[in-house]
A and B are shown apart, each in its own frame.
Chain A
Amino acid sequence: MKEVDCMIDVNQVTGGYSNEPIIKDVSLNVLKYEFFGIIGPNGSGKTTLAKLLSALLPVQTGAIQLAGRPLSEYAPKELARLMAVLPQHSSQTFSYTVYETVSLGRYAHQKGFFNSFTQEDEEIVQDVMRQTGVVDYQHAKLDELSGGERQRVYLAQALAQKPAILLLDEPTNHLDLAYQKDLLDVLKRWTLENKLTVISIFHDLNLAGLYCDRLLLLKNGQNIICDKPDEVLKKERLECVYGTKIEKNPHPKVPKPQIMLVPEQLSRAIEPEEIGPHLLKHIDDMIWLQTPTPMKTMSSSVTGAGLGWYRHFVNRHVDKGYDCSDHRAEMKRYLIEKGLDPNDTAGMMTAVHLEQAASGLFEGDGFSVFVMVTAGVGNALDVTQGEQHVKAYTPGTINTWVLVNGDMRDESFIQAIVTATEAKTKALREMAVMDQLTGNVATGTSTDSILIAATQKGTVLEFAGPIAPLGQVVARGVYECTIQALKNDRNWRHDS
């Protein structure tokens, strides 16, 4: 790293209040135009470190360099021109106006005996008030504003200092979601545009992970790790530092990790009731399975597609002439009509008559799998010949449910889909189902749907490939149920 690129260099610093050092032997460096986050549990010394960096507290041992110069050599005004601080709390005894408050940010730039306020100062004050969106109420008193508005006024004051470094202590504390995002977006933009170096204390690990280039994790005043968010926000590390159980997941839209808490009441192991045929109900035109606790589900259903937690599983019969133009909304209406919550339901459709459904409970070692299949082969095709089947979406023809009484990993969900699909294809070949168009053996139909769900309790099932215990049971279950469903379909068509 080049010397010039280093904005703040903290070298083995120990410091805090009088006798008891709170920060112990912490080293770090912040690069120019970096968005640097400081995280850690309560009492870990985040605020103390910020006070050491802003020279509010003296360093006991070690050294802090700011833009290549020792922090202690800066005169107060010089320091204020280089670094502005947005504090967590600000006392307001007297009701200053927004304009007066922001103007104070120019203090460090005013020279001469009378500290006169120049035209340039005025322009900068107006400019930062526009940037932070407080210009419209510049004549309002601070105590008339909401917490979020006040926070922006103090941000404007800090920016009026025209600093190279902005130090923030939990800047999003009193802000609602939109303001949090707005504030951090603006700060991020300024770092990206090479205008500002930002150091911020974060309470919210997810926000820290989303916006920071690097994170410093403190515990008991010590540097645990200082690295990229992906490295710092490791599940095991955070569980150890914060002393609580968490789960980590990728953010749905951006490649950043997100941390989730696991509430004690919900995670407590209730003696699980086995998911099996006794829960399956045929009501009117749907097969409905309700589980006592939500199941983690990965599916290509109409409602509840993707990854989620659901308690209701529906396979609904619709006529061949069903209008598919807005099937999702229609499906939601249908579920609500049936008294089911669409947010709690993974729902599929099929043109197959539900009497043809085949299902069964398959036992493994310490776990079991309940499989339900409805199979119609009107649209059966060879997967490699798909382009010849130009047909709009019609309701699924082979719908497969695999409900696992066990604790599955993300990877075993994916493996289970592969295994189940292969088992289905094998069953189609066994039953000699043909692609009517090309005359090849069919591998599936044009609109098959699959659902894998697990109770996430009991035996941990890491793999679901064909030779793993779970894979073996899934393969057998799907194969047998698909064969049976195809037979039912044949018999039914034969009869009618």
Chain B
Amino acid sequence: MFSKTRRIAAYPLLVIALVWAVLMGISIGTVHIPILSVVNIIWSNIFQTPLAAHVADMHENIVMNIRLPRVVLSGLVGASLAIAGAAFQGLLRNPLADPYTIGVSSGASVGAVLTLFFNLSLPFIGLYTLPVVSIMASFITIFLVLFFARQVDRTMRVETIILTGVIFSSFLGAMISLMIALTGEELRQIIGWLLGSVAMRGWEYVGIILPFFIIGTVILLLHAKELNAMSFGEDQAKHLGVNVERKKLNVLIAGSLLTGAAVAVSGTIGFVGLVIPHFIRILWGPDHKHLLPLSILAGAAFLILADLVSRIIIAPAVLPIGVITALIGAPIFALILMRRRFERS
């Protein structure tokens, strides 16, 4: 039972968790910055007030140019992956579905690896070549998946989409392996990117993901009711009055946009899109009206903390963030599944 009060309590709880994660993420590192200074620096930069006397200039530089963009970026990536995962799971009626299942992540990865492999640099966008190619590749992938699914089955049933996505994922995964096998000295760079990282990206990367994040999130939040209806099966959703074909396309596009942008700026970071929505659903129920916004908050907080752990656990060396999410996410996921199994029996 998910009482209304319990669900409403979820919002302040997760907002507090997110704020705490942001402050921790900025404060902790090789150079420790007191939380009060962090608050002061951010406050003064937003409202253009003078810094307090006790705050060091170096700290302001670290916060504003290194740690804050990194925390914001990991927050946006975590939020994008979580809400996209929640939406894909509702749409495909499969709690194990996520951006990876329907091939979107693999598509984005192929785009990124291609850029690295051929050392591409498109005119005018230079530095942005990798994210742009990556997002384009994720779009091409989702449209190819949908196109083939439609060829197989005109009504594009969910099973057909998942199957097509799995086939595309395998094929694209093989292409990535092929490029890695053919790479010499670039190997480390590609592998590093594939494992995912939000390090040393700066504000430009925040600028890349932000518009996609806003557009994708708004579209998905407007489709909460349709996702609820489609959770009961496409036929049932149709009977309830949902224009299934169109809404399904909207959700798929928005989800791909979010995934493509996230993969472009941070590489492939697994388990966020899978674990976070699952977690929210168990705690606060499957209603997408709440599941989607709560997934944004929890996803952001989770990835910020995961990034923090990746920075400090073997400091000064940095672990790829994908390793952390998998190391934390997989056992939690296993625990959740086992608990559910015990509850049922």
Residues of A within 8 Å of B29, CB to CB, are none
Q: Would you give the 0/1 interface string for B92-130, flagging 1 where the beta carbon is closer than 8 Å to chain A?
A: 011100000000000000000000000000000000000
Q: B241 at the A/B interface (Cβ < 8 Å)?
A: yes
CB distance from B4 to the nearest CB of A (A): 10
Question: Which residues of A, 84-138, contact B by the 8 Å Cβ criterion?
Answer: 84-85, 87, 90-97, 100-101, 104-105, 107-108, 110, 113-115
Give Cα A95–Cα B340 distance, bound, in whole angstroms: 12
Contact B231 A105 (CB under 8 A): no
Cβ-closest chain A residue relative to B344:
A143
Verify A93–B242 contact, CB threshold 8 A: no
Pairwise interchain contact B1-A97, C-beta atoms closer than 8 A? yes
Compute how far the CA of A72 lies from the CA of B3 in the bound complex, rounded to whole angstroms. Answer: 41
Which B residues touch A91, using CB under 8 A? 93, 232-233, 236
Chain A residues near B238 (CB, 8 Å)? 54-56, 76
Which residues of chain B from 1 to 19 have any CB-CB distance to chain A below 8 Å in the complex?
Answer: 1-3
* Cβ contact within 8 Å between B233 and A107: no
The answer on a CB contact under 8 Å between A80 and B281 is: no
CB pair A90 B1 closer than 8 Å: no
Q: Is the CB of A100 within 8 A of B225?
A: no
Besides A91-B232, A96-B285, A107-B242, 12 more A-B contacts (Cβ < 8 Å) are A75-B243, A76-B241, A78-B241, A80-B241, A90-B236, A93-B95, A94-B90, A96-B228, A104-B225, A107-B229, A108-B241, A140-B1
Chain B nearest CB from A80 CB (Å) reads: 3
Contact B229–A104 (Cβ < 8 Å): yes
Contact yes or no, B281 A94, CB < 8 A: yes
Bitwise, B266-287 to A at CB < 8 A (1) or not (0) is 0000000000000001000111
User: B231, A94: Cβ atoms under 8 Å?
Assistant: yes
B1 contacts A56, C-beta separation under 8 Å:
no
B225 adjacent to A107 (CB under 8 Å): yes
Q: Give chain A residues whose Cβ lies under 8 Å from the Cβ of B229.
A: 104, 107
A335 within 8 A of B: no
| 15 intermolecular pairs with C-beta atoms under 8 Å apart | A51-B235, A75-B243, A76-B241, A76-B243, A76-B244, A78-B241, A80-B240, A84-B239, A91-B232, A92-B231, A94-B231, A95-B285, A96-B231, A97-B1, A139-B3
Distance from B131 Cβ to chain A, minimum over Cβ atoms (Å):
31
Q: Are A139 and B285 in contact (CB under 8 A)?
A: no
Task: Give the docked Cα–Cα distance between A141 and B281 (Å).
Answer: 12
Q: Does B339 contact A (CB under 8 A)?
A: no
A92: B residues at CB distance < 8 A: 231-232
Q: Known A93-B94, A94-B286; judge A87-B225 contact (CB<8 A).
A: no
Q: Say whether, besides A80-B240, A80-B241, A87 and B235 are in contact (CB < 8 Å).
A: yes
> Which B191-207 residues have C-beta < 8 A from chain A?
none
Tell me the residues in window 209-253 of chain B with beta carbons closer than 8 Å to chain A beta carbons. 222, 225, 228-229, 231-233, 235-236, 238-244
Complex: A126 Cα to B330 Cα, angstroms: 41
* Given the contacts A79-B241, A107-B241, A94 and B1 also touching, CB distance less than 8 Å: no
Q: Once the chains bind, are B93 and A97 in contact (CB under 8 Å)?
A: no
Contacts of A107 in B (CB 8 A): 225, 229, 240-242
Answer whether residue A172 sits at the interface, using C-beta atoms and an 8 A cutoff: no
Q: Quick one: given A107-B229, A108-B240, are A97 and B2 in contact (CB under 8 Å)? A: yes
